[in-house]
Amino acid sequence: MYSTLDITSIRKDFPILEQVVNGKPLIYFDNAATTQKPQAVLDALSGYYGQDNANIHRGIHTLAERATAAFEDSRKALQAFINAPSADEVIFTYGTTDSINLVAQAYGRHFLKKGDEIIISTMEHHSNIVPWQMLCEEKGCLLKIIPINDAGELDMEAYELLLSEKTKLVSVVHVSNALGTINPVKEIIKKAHAVGAKVLLDGAQACSHLEIDVQDLDCDFYALSMHKIYGPTGMGALFGKREILDAMPPYRGGGEMIKEVTFAKTTYNELPYKFEAGTPNIADAIASKFALDYINQLGKNNIATYENELLNYATQAIGEVPGVKIVGQAKDKVSVLSFVIDGIHHQDIGVLLDQQGIAIRTGHHCTQPLMQRFGLSGTSRASFAVYNTTEEIDAFIQGLYKVRKMLG
């Protein structure tokens, strides 16, 4: 291995990894579903509730002011993390799914009309399919799908043919959660803008592996989840270009998103609060900054380099296991290894590995249309993070040999 990171020390930052599962040391390879949390994040959560618990923005007492400052510091940290022009363009949400629904409801319902076209891809998570289907049913829009090749890469020539003056929105995943494919999103955005369409990127998987620069990408919206990047669950963000967010009506009504309310008329608040109705997820928002600080301390490029080393090591090793086929062999990938074994159901693989203390994900990964494209009901998926090791991969491979011996 060529990583400059001290993985032994890093593992000590994640107390959950010290446990034993089914009599074996835990090997956690389900990072594409959610990453584990470093001690700094856990301390931030307990610290807020133990010292600063108060509602934010409207209080003038000390606890409220401390909580408000910490909450807004997290927004600034997210702004820097994705290089947004302004913290006002970073909307706190419950996660990527909530962010996509916000755009579908607040932008789509207001600006799209019958006959307009929305483009997504074959490899989308259900969260980037269903909201657009619902919008199309309501507004009479048409949903078009970018096909993929057998390696799990987008057919960019087909994408160009789908684009027209009727295209109003393109919403695609930056990195596939089921395949690990890194999509050519800058090219996608450029071609969409050429026909006047807006572009949303689902960054749920990308944000933990890639440097994200929304200004360089020139995307109109970028959605992400904190629990994919060592932060809390139920916490995410939506970046949107200011002029678009200003033009969008609020998604939810209530406190915080208003300036003035009378029974005759309500005046809405400014960005970002216009889209943040009600008491927010304060503790998880505050703890999110500590997750971002942790990543920045290690260095995003260092993490990506190490994870790629793990992926290459695992890809070579799993290729020697009889009957294994890797699903998703794009040239550009993150550390996601999706596979099937001839004659063995993916769920059985997951159960037997769990008995050996190895946590992987099995099933359709909320990408049923993608699975149908490959003629599969599901796959087994091992996904790696910065705290994983080659020794764990060796144990995982030995676990697969045991699975084959028992069921093959």
Task: Answer yes or no: do 164 and 203 share one domain.
Answer: yes
Tokens of 37: 């949390």
Dihedral angle computed from the Cα positions of residues 376, 378, 380 and 384, in that order, rounded to the nearest 10 degrees: 110
Domain that holds residue 357: 7-30+299-407
Kindly report the three-state secondary structure assignment for every residue of 210-267: CCCCHHHHCCCEEEEEHHHCCCCCCCEEEEECHHHHHHCCCCCCCCCCEEEECCCCEE
Summarize the confidence of residues 149-171 as an average pLDDT.
Answer: 98
Decide: pTM greater than 0.75: yes
22/77 Cα distance (integer angstroms): 39
Model confidence band, residue 191 (pLDDT cutoffs 50, 70, 90): very high
Cβ contact 257:91 at 8 Å: no
User: Looking at the DSSP assignment, which residues form a beta bridge with residue 239?
Assistant: 90, 222
Is there a single domain that holds both residue 342 and residue 361? yes
Dist CA 275 CA 293 (whole Å): 26
DSSP result, 369-387: HHHHHTT-S-EEEEE--TT
Confidence of residue 262 (pLDDT cuts 50, 70, 90): low
For position 259, what pLDDT does the model report?
Answer: 65
**Is there a single domain that holds both residue 243 and residue 336?**
no
Domain boundary pick from 264, 296, 328: 296
Is 281 found in the same domain as 363? no
- 58 vs 105, more confident: 105
Same domain assignment for residues 161 and 238? yes
- Strand-pair category, 379-383 with 336-341: antiparallel
- pLDDT tens-digit map of 44-56: 999 999 999 999 9
Is residue 273 very low, low, confident or very high in pLDDT (cuts 50, 70, 90)?
confident
- What's 21's domain CATH number? 3.90.1150.10
Name which of 359, 380, 382 is nearest 310 in CA terms. 382
Q: What is the largest CA-CA distance in the chain?
A: 73
Q: Are residues 136 and 274 in the same domain?
A: yes
The pLDDT of 234-259, averaged and rounded, is 86
**Residue where a domain stops, chosen among 277, 296, 315:** 296
Q: Average the pLDDT over 172-200 and give the result.
A: 98
Please determine, for residue 254, whether its predicted confidence score (pLDDT) is greater than 90. no
Q: Are residues 281 and 320 in the same domain?
A: no
Stretch 351-369: mean pLDDT: 96
Together in a domain, 213 and 337: no
**Average pLDDT, integer, range 20-24:** 96
Q: In CATH, what number is assigned to the domain containing residue 165? A: 3.40.640.10
pLDDT at 236: 97
Average pLDDT value for residue range 227-240: 97
Q: Tell the residue number behind the tokens 């494209």, with chain if given.
A: 373
Q: How far is CA 309 from the centre of its chain?
A: 21
**Do 234 and 88 fall within a single domain?**
yes
Q: Please, what sign has the CA dihedral across residues 290, 294, 297, 302?
A: negative
Q: Is residue 37 part of a domain?
A: no
pLDDT at residue 268, rounded to an integer: 67
Q: How many domains does the chain have?
A: 2
Give 285's contacts (C-beta < 8 A, 6+ positions apart): 71, 74, 75, 92, 235
Please give the pLDDT value at position 230: 98
136 belongs to the catalytic site? no
pLDDT (mean) for 198-203: 98
Find the helix or strand (DSSP H, E) in which 110 lies.
Answer: helix 109-111
Q: What is the pLDDT of residue 120?
A: 98
Q: Which of 141, 207, 219, 366 is catalytic?
A: 366
Asked if residue 35 is part of any domain, the answer here is no
Integer angstrom CA distances of residue 371 from 168, 281, 406: 27, 34, 26
Q: Residue 257 corresponds to which tokens in the numbers above?
A: 């998103």
Q: Last residue of some domain: 250, 274, 296? A: 296
Beta carbons within 8 Å of 22's beta carbon, 6+ residues apart: 354, 355, 356, 357
How confident is the prediction for the chain on average, in pLDDT?
A: 95
- Whether 318 and 174 share a structural domain: no
Would you say residue 235 has pLDDT above 70?
A: yes
Q: How far is C-alpha 371 from the chain's CA centre? A: 19
The average pLDDT across 270-296 equals: 93
pLDDT given for residue 1 in this prediction: 42
Does residue 316 sit in helix, strand or coil? Answer: helix
What is the structure's pLDDT at 405?
Answer: 86
Tell whether 286 and 310 lie within a shared domain. Answer: no
Q: Are residues 289 and 185 in the same domain?
A: yes
Q: Can you tell me the mean pLDDT for 46-74?
A: 94
